[in-house]
Amino acid sequence: MNAIITASELAAETAGPRPPVLLDIRWQLSMAKATGAAAFDGRAAYEAGHLPGAVFVDLDAELAGSPGSGGRHPLPDVAEFGRVMRRAGVSARTPVVVYDGGQGWAAARAWWLLRWTGHEDVRVLDGGLAAWTGELSTEIPTPDEGDFRPEPGALKLLDADGAAELARTGVLLDARAGERYRGEVEPIDRVGGHIPGALSAPTTENVGPDGRLLPVDDLVARFKELGAFDAEVGVYCGSGVSGAHEVLALAVAGIPAALYAGSWSQWSSDESRPVATGADPQ
């Protein structure tokens, strides 16, 4: 099953006999506390114009639990996630397409959660809203209730101990910016650095200037250089959002990967966990 869909393919499918459920997951990592800037309002952006028929889903409120020991964006309560998806019109056998403002991280979070909980037909709009050339709508849809019942376990999930083990025995990729991996800056979490043994692999390098994923051959070459074809692979990031985007890129390249959902926000909050800094994985 493909993990991404182009804007032209989506336009054809929405006009066809089996249109997908569309979910708008516009979101940006909030730097308000660090910079004093106003937080991004995804719902307001959605109400100003969205793909016709798309339903807005709030990442912070509906695709994550409350911040705490599980990190800044812990996984949501599975039953509540199921209710959110059903209210959005998601059914078990209905195709779903998720999109965001173009970065791909938020859409990938929704893609990962749906795939992890057993939905088999979920794709991310490659390039997000910016790639869409059709008309936008301000009409707020009221879809019929779906029948999707989440059953976790379809994708691999790591906890902190599992991530530490994989860093020793396989390939653990850190999807954050290189300067955060090296510990040069840390604007959000308690301390900078990385899980000892993890490799720096910023997910921003999986996309081109247009915000779309690199061609498959380029992704394959990148992940081959990182050793991802020769071992079990896991990914983490700051709080499990951009890491989902790297899992998506790996899937497009044909590599199954586990996600450490708690990621650095959980790891670094535990002072007993070791922290590595600098460019050296160890």
Q: Is 121 exposed, middle or buried (0-12, 13-18, 19+ CB in 10 A)?
A: middle
Same fold, 4-131 and 157-267: yes
- As a whole number of angstroms, the distance between CA 160 and CA 139 comes to 43
DSSP 215: P
Tell the residue number behind the tokens 């059914």, with chain if given: 91
pLDDT recorded at residue 282: 87
The torsion region of residue 126 among left (phi > 0), alpha (psi -120 to 50) and beta comes to: beta
Q: What is the pLDDT of residues 98-111, one digit of tens each?
A: 999 988 999 999 99
Pick the CATH number of 4-131 from 3.40.250.10, 3.40.640.10, 3.40.50.980, 3.40.50.1110: 3.40.250.10
Q: Tell me if residue 97 falls in helix, strand or coil.
A: strand
pLDDT recorded at residue 37: 52
pLDDT recorded at residue 38: 61
pLDDT recorded at residue 39: 75
Q: Where do the structural domains in the chain lie, given as residue ranges?
A: 4-131, 157-267
Q: Which residues are marked as active site?
A: 237
- As a whole number of angstroms, the distance between CA 110 and CA 98 comes to 7
Q: What is the pLDDT of residues 219-241, one digit of tens each?
A: 999 999 999 998 999 999 999 99
DSSP 214: P
Per-residue pLDDT of the chain (282 residues; tens, 9 = 90+): 699 999 999 999 999 999 999 999 999 876 444 445 567 898 999 999 999 999 999 999 999 999 988 999 999 999 999 999 999 999 999 999 999 998 899 999 999 999 999 999 999 999 999 999 999 999 999 999 999 999 999 999 999 999 999 999 999 999 999 999 999 999 888 899 999 999 999 999 999 999 999 999 999 999 999 999 989 999 999 999 999 999 999 999 999 999 999 999 999 999 999 999 999 998
Residue type, 161: D
- As a whole number of angstroms, the distance between CA 172 and CA 164 comes to 9
pLDDT recorded at residue 33: 44
Half-sphere exposure of 182 (CA within 13 A, CB side): 9
pLDDT recorded at residue 32: 41
pLDDT recorded at residue 199: 98
pLDDT recorded at residue 69: 87
What does residue 166 show for φ and ψ, rounded to 5 degrees?
-65, -35
DSSP 74: P
pLDDT recorded at residue 101: 94
Q: What is the pLDDT of residues 49-71, one digit of tens each?
A: 999 999 999 999 999 999 988 99
CATH number of 157-267: 3.40.250.10
DSSP 221: H
Question: Rounded to two decimals, what is the model's pTM?
Answer: 0.95
Residues 240, 262 contacting (CB under 8 angstroms): yes
